[in-house]
Amino acid sequence: MHLGRKRKGLDPVASSRHKPTPSRVLWSHFSLGDHSRRTKKCKEGVGQRASYHNGFVTGIATAPPFVNVCSDPHGRGLKRKIGCLDAATRMGRKKKIEQDFELGETIGQGKFGSVVKCRNKTSGEEFACKILTKGEEIVHREVEIMQHLSGHPGVVTLKAVYEDDRSFHLVMELCSGGRLLDQMRNDGLFSEQKAANLMKGLMLVLKYCHEMGVVHRDVKPENILLSSSGLMKLADFGLAARIANGQSLYGVVGSPAYVAPEVLMGGYSEKVDIWSAGVLLHAILVGFLPFGGESVNTVFEAVKNVSLDFQGGVWESISQPARDLIAHMLTRNVSKRYTAEEVLRHPWILFYTNPTLESLTFSSRVQTRSFLTSRQLTEMLEVESERNVNASFNDNSTLTFPPEEEDCYMVDVLALAISRVRISEPKRSRICSPTNPVQQEHSSNIKITSLCTAF
Ligand SMILES: Nc1ncnc2c1ncn2[C@@H]1O[C@H](COP(=O)(O)OP(=O)(O)OP(=O)(O)O)[C@@H](O)[C@H]1O
């Protein structure tokens, strides 16, 4: 077993094959993750800084050495077990995957290998199997981190790892609902209700990752998969890194359109995941990415400098609290940027994911984007203040409204409503170019303009 073995000869920084020719630069722009995965094997260490010149990434993806993090008993993630594959995973390693699983159709294509369906020969249960060809990828960190995070319903569970002469096989829970990106294409713009629910799921899993000392570093719709019942699962921990309290990561890692500005400028923390999630929230609500450009330079310049304007245009139909949340997720002031916990406590999230209020939004007659009418909100506020919504979120009773009230003051009224409905503490605590048979598209591969229409 050589999960920890580093592959040779694929360092784009060192290799002349990877000089920043224009096309390479553009490709790099859309595939930072690929670059990072290839380079992360080279040098690791908290103190190593990446450099970025003229749009070409010359950085090294770095992470704190495992031993440093583990030796801190007071650090986050006391139940760390990275490096300690569990019994189920170990068992598989000795055998060939074919002994236990029947490999089936290709269901996905990454840059380093394909993902196929597989079926357990004994139980008949279906899984996804990521096949990583040796010599093109290192898998030790991905396996360790998936193993470390295993058990959370929002993380794709790693079931077993096999190795043969040519490849690694990572057997994972099958997410048969596909990618969030595909859902975005099929369904178009998300209602605020749907976006808030997605964001809540994402924040719950990111909160868990961050508490476990893991930064995903590549949050984007391609890496959010859906279970057969529609539950979101965070996948692809190939770029994830470990971090301890107070430590910084260095290295230009991620996908350009989603990358946080501090990644491009120096040390960064788990807050980069919140930025990426903010980009995603922006995209699903208004249909385009906030930071775009025709080249790596322009995208990165936009990420670093463009001021977002949430007034007018497409934002007219988006509630003020939604805009407020996006602004707090996409602030370049990292200390002011919300944590996952703070996003979860944001009124917009609580409003739309509160079972009591949720029924209210869906009981309305024409609610294509789940807006509330002013009358509904007024009544809601009265009713809610009577029943003291803060005391309990277990009340599933519904409020219904006559169908004629469909006035259009919902944006401001929603803001007012949310500011008046106090958010409860109880709620809180309950809380490149693949040659593949499967057509895969990536959100950052799509021009911003076409992303608009694709939605
Ligand atoms: N557990 C799973 N269940 C179903 N489909 C999956 C699963 N894991 C991955 N896939 C599919 O395979 C694709 C590639 O997987 P993944 O992103 O893990 O590969 P990768 O090589 O790490 O990709 P990247 O190109 O982003 O680096 C996903 O976009 C998805 O369509």
Of residues 109 and 336, more confidence is placed in 336
Q: Which of 332-346, 374-388, 429-443 has the highest mean pLDDT?
A: 332-346
Q: Which of 56-60, 80-84, 197-201, 221-225 is least confident?
A: 56-60
If you average pLDDT over every residue of the chain, what do you get?
67
Atom 15 (ligand 1) nearest CA: 110
* pLDDT over 90 (residue 357): no
Say if CB 431 and CB 208 are below 8 A apart: no
Q: E strands within 235-371? A: 241-242
Q: Which of 127, 130, 179 for mutating ligand 1's site (highest number of atoms within 8 Å of CB)? A: 130
* pLDDT over 80 (residue 365): no
Q: How would you class 54 by CB atoms within 10 Å of its CB: exposed for 0-12, middle for 13-18, buried for 19 or more?
A: exposed
CATH 2.10.10.90 fits domain 175-354? no
pLDDT value of position 94: 57
pTM of the model: 0.68
Q: How many Å lie between the centroid of ligand 1 and the Cα of residue 58?
A: 26
Atom 26 (ligand 1) nearest CA: 110
Of residues 454 and 102, more confidence is placed in 102
* pLDDT over 70 (residue 102): yes
The CA distance from 400 to 359, in Å, is 9
Q: How many Å lie between the centroid of ligand 1 and the Cα of residue 108?
A: 6
Q: Which of 37, 107, 125 for mutating ligand 1's site (highest number of atoms within 8 Å of CB)? A: 107
Q: How many Å lie between the centroid of ligand 1 and the Cα of residue 115?
A: 6
Per-domain boundaries in the chain: 89-174, 175-354
Check if 236 is active-site.
no
pLDDT-derived band of residue 296, with 50, 70 and 90 as boundaries?
A: confident
Q: How many Å lie between the centroid of ligand 1 and the Cα of residue 237?
A: 10
* pLDDT over 50 (residue 363): no
pLDDT value of position 51: 28
Say if CB 262 and CB 268 are below 8 A apart: yes
The fraction of the chain above a pLDDT of 70, given in percent, is 56
The CA distance from 59 to 36, in Å, is 8
Amino acid at 6: K
Nearest-atom index, ligand 1, CA of 33? 27
Q: What is the mean pLDDT of residues 271-290?
A: 97
Q: How many Å lie between the centroid of ligand 1 and the Cα of residue 257?
A: 19
Of residues 321 and 9, more confidence is placed in 321
The answer to whether 130 is a known ligand-binding residue is yes
Q: How many Å lie between the centroid of ligand 1 and the Cα of residue 229?
A: 18
Of residues 140 and 62, more confidence is placed in 140
Nearest-atom index, ligand 1, CA of 179? 31
394-453 pLDDT per residue, tens? 222 222 222 333 333 343 444 444 433 332 222 222 112 222 223 344 454 333 322 221
pLDDT value of position 165: 83
* pLDDT over 50 (residue 46): no
The CA distance from 15 to 302, in Å, is 29
The complex scores an ipTM of 0.96
Q: Which of 65-79, 84-98, 400-414 is least confident?
A: 65-79
pLDDT value of position 113: 80
Atom 10 (ligand 1) nearest CA: 108
Q: Which of 236, 239, 445 for mutating ligand 1's site (highest number of atoms within 8 Å of CB)? A: 236
The CA distance from 390 to 383, in Å, is 12
Nearest-atom index, ligand 1, CA of 174? 3
pLDDT-derived band of residue 378, with 50, 70 and 90 as boundaries?
A: very low
Atom 4 (ligand 1) nearest CA: 175
pLDDT value of position 205: 98
The binding-site residues of ligand 1, defined as CB within 6 angstroms of any ligand atom, are 33, 107-112, 115, 128, 130, 156, 172-175, 179, 222-223, 225, 235-236, 238
Atom 21 (ligand 1) nearest CA: 110
Question: Span 89-174: which CATH code?
Answer: 3.30.200.20
pLDDT-derived band of residue 42, with 50, 70 and 90 as boundaries?
A: very low
Buried b (16+ CB within 10 A) or exposed e, 427-438: beeeeeebeeee
Annotated catalytic residue, options 11, 72, 182, 218: 218
Nearest-atom index, ligand 1, CA of 434? 25
Atom 5 (ligand 1) nearest CA: 175
User: For tokens 């190593």, what's the residue?
Assistant: 48
125-143 pLDDT per residue, tens? 999 999 988 765 567 888 8
Here the tokens at position 207 are 């909160």
Q: Which of 225, 228, 255, 276 for mutating ligand 1's site (highest number of atoms within 8 Å of CB)? A: 225
Of residues 141 and 77, more confidence is placed in 141
Atom 18 (ligand 1) nearest CA: 236
The closest of 81, 85, 103, 106 to 94, measured between CA atoms, is 85
Q: How many Å lie between the centroid of ligand 1 and the Cα of residue 352?
A: 30
Q: E strands within 10-157? A: 52-53, 56-57, 101-109, 113-120, 126-133
pLDDT value of position 447: 34
